[in-house]
Amino acid sequence: GAGVSQSPSNKVTEKGKDVELRCDPISGHTALYWYRQSLGQGLEFLIYFQGNSAPDKSGLPSDRFSAERTGGSVSTLTIQRTQQEDSAVYLCASSLGGVGNTIYFGEGSWLTVV
Amino acid sequence: SQQGEEDPQALSIQEGENATMNCSYKTSINNLQWYRQNSGRGLVHLILIRSNEREKHSGRLRVTLDTSKKSSSLLITASRAADTASYFCATGASGSARQLTFGSGTQLTVLP
């Protein structure tokens, strides 16, 4: 597609439920990133995929968070047993990979846990 | 941890004036990127400057990089109300393509 596509754009869920957020990167981009942004804050790195390499999961805040990237393209971020502090915008981004390449962001998925 | 830190946190100017935002960082970088974000949604890439570059222009934007001071500035000339947004700098670490590290942003308000 023309840009990074994320779905859903908005999700309200009850505390304790699981949620899945989807990211469809720009075609041909080998690198895919997930970030989280709480209200009025900067971006917090969550996870990074590059080609067939093992993902960098160093930013995942707890074992309730996991992410997959199937076939080197679409990625799903899963949050199990959601908590109110998980409420944030979850931003996906992709790039051609390698150092110094521009990273392009999707519009984000706004998650509200009630 | 935050690598880039923007200054000021908030800036309010009149339309037509220039806006300058600064970014400081701590470790060696390969590149520094500036992004814009409207209303908490997706980030739009504005400009990338590499560590061996000192200045870059794109339309009304001018970015400078001083690696000796570990700082960068973003200048928006002849600002417009539509420039109202949050602006973030993000640093790419030397030798690593893993991630960009973002600051907490500058909220720019351009008054008509």
Nearest to A28 by CA among A78, A87, A97: A97
One-letter amino acid for residue A14 of the chain: E
State what percent of residues in chain A have pLDDT above 90. 75
Predicted confidence at residue B2, as pLDDT, reads 43
Give the count of beta carbons closer than 10 Å to the beta carbon of residue B56: 15
Predicted confidence at residue A111, as pLDDT, reads 97
Q: Does A106 touch chain B (CB under 8 A)?
A: yes
Predicted confidence at residue A31, as pLDDT, reads 92
Is pLDDT of A99 > 90? Answer: no
Size of interface A-B (CB pairs under 8 A): 69
B97 with A101: Cβ contact below 8 A: yes
Q: Does A89 touch chain B (CB under 8 A)?
A: yes
Is pLDDT of A82 > 70? Answer: yes
Averaged over A13-23, what is the pLDDT? 97
Predicted confidence at residue B96, as pLDDT, reads 61
pLDDT band at residue A93 using 50, 70 and 90 as cut-offs: very high
Task: List, for chain B, all residue ranges whose pLDDT scores fall below the cut of 50.
Answer: 1-2
Predicted confidence at residue B98, as pLDDT, reads 63
What is the rounded CA–CA span in Å between residue A93 and residue A71? 17
B102 with A42: Cβ contact below 8 A: yes
B2 with A42: Cβ contact below 8 A: yes
Predicted confidence at residue A97, as pLDDT, reads 79
One-letter amino acid for residue B16 of the chain: G
